[in-house]
Amino acid sequence: MPEGNKNMTPRLSIQITLHNRVRFIRASLLSALNCGYDDSEIIVFDDASSDGSGEEVKRLAVEYPGKIHYVRSEKNIGCAGGRAAMVDMTKADYILVLDDDDILLPFDIAGQIELLDRNPGFAVSYGKTFVVDECLKPLNSSMGGNYSRFILAYNTPVTHPAAIIRRSDILEAGNYRLAGDSIKAVAEDLYLWFNLSLKKDFHFDNKFRLLYRQHASQTTLKENAYMEAANFIHKKIIEANKDIYDRIISGKIDIAPHESKTVLLILAIISRYMPSSSSGRLQILNTAESIAPNDYGVNAVKFEYFFKTGNYPAAMTEAEKMLEKYGADIYIRKLSLEKIIRVCEKTGTDTTEIRKQTSFLNYEYSHFDLSKISLKEE
């Protein structure tokens, strides 16, 4: 526990895995120090940095005595190993992971912790990230959207550094695991989301919590590595739930109430790897919808199935289902209208009014005024 907090356990542990980010770590730490939530600690796990990053952290720790707990590993153990070590190190109720080059924005941390306290069925509360370049100039893009258990097998709407996670749930889910056989394996966050999703739900509050730096080190190679890691995770989830997988494949799905979350995840993984236009895939998707009629991800994937097979009326029906069920949620409404536009383009239907609505929703969803934020890069 950080010095100066010896007689009490903080509610929140802000945790940073650091590796060779001397240009950015000071700004990231300053954003954590100024997050507006005092019942917190900051832990920095230096994963064998060689560029002076650790010295920068130690200098800041002197400027803010008792606020920063610095731990160094002389051996590079990888991001997942560093995250797992910090989770074991703290006794805080909740974890907020902050990457070593991103900026934590002031948001209602206390309110989100209270929400999680009141709702033990939620393991995670997360928000949106606003994408900027290396110099914190806006790239007019954002990440994060409504949670869907089914859509996890395709992509994740959950943004890791914009999430507050219950520590006990992280431990029960196996802590941070390597998504592969190498310490350099990526997607430890996706592995955690899958394991948490087997039992718990996620809360999305549709507010910006983070500035995400996009820079040269985030290459296509890393994206390919993430895809390989996702394939590894899907395989491991299937192996860990082989009895359910075998029942689904045999067509004998007798679902107990406590299995519904797991069954939906397995169905999503199966559907992802089936031929995109196969009738068997549609059967899987229909089964998923019967289990989780309120999971928008099922309708989104069914839309893609019908769209790719040229069944545009059926595709339109799925987009309209999303709009009807979840139209109050700006993120899903935006997705629904974008899908409707795609069908209209194929069928020669005028899209002028829908495009106006979609443009407005995109602005409302993605707009963030950086000028109102005091950023300390010194």
**What pLDDT score was predicted for residue 221?**
52
Say if CB 107 and CB 88 are below 8 A apart: no
Phi, psi angles (nearest 5°) of residue 104? -80, 125
In the predicted structure, residue 40 carries a pLDDT above the cut 70: yes
- Residues 223-251, buried b or exposed e (16+ Cβ, 10 A)? eebbeebbbbbbeebbeebeebbebbeee
The domains of the chain are located at: 12-234, 242-366
Closest to 92 in 3D by CA, of 2, 162, 205? 2
| Structure confidence at residue 334 (pLDDT) | 94
d(CA 306, CA 297): 14
Report, as an integer, the average pLDDT of 120-134. Answer: 96
CATH number corresponding to 242-366: 1.25.40
Instruction: Compute the distance between CA of residue 233 and CA of residue 180 in angstroms, rounded to an integer.
Output: 8
pLDDT at residue 4 is higher than 50: no
Percentage, residues of the chain above pLDDT 90: 82
353 Cβ neighbours under 8 A, 6+ residues apart? none
Percent of residues in the chain assigned helix, strand, coil, to nearest 5: 50, 15, 35
What are the tens digits of pLDDT across the range 196-238?
Answer: 999 999 999 999 999 999 886 654 557 788 889 999 999 999 9
Q: Which of the following CATH numbers is that of domain 12-234: 3.10.25.10, 3.50.50.60, 3.40.50.2300, 3.90.550.10?
A: 3.90.550.10
**Interatomic CA distance for residues 123 and 164, integer angstroms:** 8
The identity of residue 241, as a single letter, is N
The answer to pTM > 0.85 is: yes
The pLDDT tens digits for 168-179 are 999 999 999 999
d(CA 71, CA 73): 7
Mean pLDDT (the chain, rounded): 92
Q: How confident is the model at residue 375 (pLDDT cuts 50, 70, 90)?
A: low
The model's pLDDT over 75-110, given as tens digits with 9 standing for 90+, comes to: 999 999 999 999 999 999 999 999 999 999 999 999
